[in-house]
């Protein structure tokens, strides 16, 4: 079983200590670093193989939400906070779970199980993207072969993604991050937190919008510079 590497990010010393104690009781988990703010967390992500961030929301200078939004390809995130008003925004950012303080070991175990399920998603494809021109996805209780060339774009929907093809859409339980790793980088590019596009399928680009057939897809501000460099624009 692969060890799940995590970091803990919280500006409150007592909260960090409690989370350390709880996470250390999870079998197969390893705490790589404990951070007191978003800057320390960013430095950790640059040098460590992080699978999961336990991220406090209400922190000085840079909030957990702003920090997560600043990451182009974030690891899995579990929000930890004393405020439930951020729950909707958390789920819009595709976080794994939202733990309200004071956190119980029972809720942490539930969150850990969700992490395990997310990480298992990567095994749903039979062949790696780098070696084939297709992938198999689980859809309607069967494995369906989808050619990469047939994919127009991929739309993130919380814990699901919708794969839009010329023939029909497929809704599967993958994350956008997992899809990025599965698709050939020479053909696909993430242009928004909720969209990955097939570069060959683009029919036009105007302003901050990509046109693929009759569909219009917005280009996220954090992705535009890299996208324009990719297409040579």
Interatomic CA distance for residues 229 and 233, integer angstroms? 6
Q: Is the pLDDT of residue 120 over 70?
A: yes
Condensed to tens digits (0 to 9), the pLDDT of residues 170-192 reads: 998 888 888 888 899 899 999 99
pLDDT at 123: 53
Beta-carbon contacts of 196 under 8 Å, excluding residues fewer than 6 positions away, are: 153, 154, 176, 179, 180, 183, 188, 189, 190
As given in the structure block, the two tokens for residue 10 are 């919280």
pLDDT at 127: 47
Is 6 in contact with 32 (CB distance < 8 Å)?
A: yes
For the segment 121-143, the average pLDDT, to the nearest whole number, is 67
Q: Considering only 21-25, 79-83, 91-95, 164-168, which range has the smallest mean pLDDT?
A: 91-95
% the chain with pLDDT above 70? 92
Cis bond before residue 102 (omega within 30° of 0):
yes
pLDDT at 124: 54
Domain ranges in the chain? 4-122, 126-231
Interatomic CA distance for residues 156 and 173, integer angstroms? 10
Q: Is the pLDDT of residue 128 over 70?
A: no
Task: Specify which of 26-35, 38-47, 70-79, 157-166 reaches the highest per-range mean pLDDT.
Answer: 26-35
As given in the structure block, the two tokens for residue 148 are 């990469």
- What is the overall mean pLDDT for the chain? 89
> Residue 29: how many CA atoms within 13 Å on its side-chain side?
25
Interatomic CA distance for residues 69 and 73, integer angstroms? 10
Q: Which residue has the tokens 């693929």?
A: 212
Report how far apart, in Å, the C-alpha atoms of 101 and of each of 37, 76, 83, 129 are. Answer: 18, 19, 8, 41
Q: Is the pLDDT of residue 159 over 80?
A: no
Please provide the DSSP assignment of 86-151 as one string. Answer: GHHHHHHTT-SEEEESSPPHHHHHHHHHHHHHHHHGGGG-SS-GGG-SEEEEEETTEEEEEEGGGE
Q: Is the pLDDT of residue 126 over 50?
A: no
pLDDT at 54: 98
Long-range CB contacts (< 8 A, 24+ apart) of 100-108?
Answer: 101/15, 102/18, 103/18, 103/19, 103/22, 105/22, 105/25, 108/22, 108/23, 108/26
Condensed to tens digits (0 to 9), the pLDDT of residues 186-224 reads: 999 999 999 999 999 999 999 999 999 999 999 999 999
Q: Which residue has the tokens 């992705």?
A: 223
Q: Considering only 61-70, 106-115, 130-139, 186-195, which range has the smallest mean pLDDT?
A: 130-139
Beta-carbon contacts of 61 under 8 Å, excluding residues fewer than 6 positions away, are: 37, 38, 39
For the segment 2-10, the average pLDDT, to the nearest whole number, is 94
Interatomic CA distance for residues 213 and 160, integer angstroms? 23
* 103 vs 89, higher pLDDT: 103
For the segment 100-111, the average pLDDT, to the nearest whole number, is 94
% the chain with pLDDT above 90? 64
Does 126-231 match 4-122 at the fold level?
Answer: no
Q: Superfamily assignment of 126-231 in CATH?
A: LytTr DNA-binding domain (2.40.50.1020)
Q: Superfamily assignment of 4-122 in CATH?
A: Response regulator (3.40.50.2300)
Q: What is the pTM of this model?
A: 0.57
pLDDT at 122: 57
Is 49 in contact with 31 (CB distance < 8 Å)?
A: no
């Amino acid at each position: 079983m692969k060890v799940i590497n995590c970091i803990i990010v919280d500006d409150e010393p007592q909260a960090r200590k409690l989370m350390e104690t709880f996470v250390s009781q999870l079998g197969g988990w390893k705490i790589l670093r404990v951070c007191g703010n978003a800057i320390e967390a960013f430095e950790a992500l640059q040098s460590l193989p992080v699978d999961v961030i336990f991220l406090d929301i209400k922190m000085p200078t840079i909030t957990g939400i702003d920090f997560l939004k600043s990451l182009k390809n974030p690891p899995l995130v579990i929000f930890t906070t004393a405020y439930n008003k951020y729950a909707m925004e958390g789920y819009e950012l595709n976080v794994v779970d939202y733990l309200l303080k004071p956190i119980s070991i029972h809720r942490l175990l539930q969150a850990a199980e969700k992490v395990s399920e997310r990480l298992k998603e990567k095994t749903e494809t039979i062949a790696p993207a780098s070696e084939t021109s297709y992938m198999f996805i689980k859809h309607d209780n069967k494995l369906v072969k989808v050619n990469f060339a047939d994919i127009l774009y991929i739309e993130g929907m919380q814990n699901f993604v919708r794969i839009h093809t010329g023939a029909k859409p497929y809704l599967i339980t993958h994350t956008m991050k997992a899809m990025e790793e599965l698709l050939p980088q020479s053909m696909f590019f993430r242009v928004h937190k909720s969209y990955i596009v097939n570069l060959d399928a683009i029919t036009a680009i105007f302003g901050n919008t990509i046109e693929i057939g009759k569909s219009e897809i917005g280009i996220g501000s954090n992705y535009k510079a890299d996208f324009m460099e990719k297409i040579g624009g």
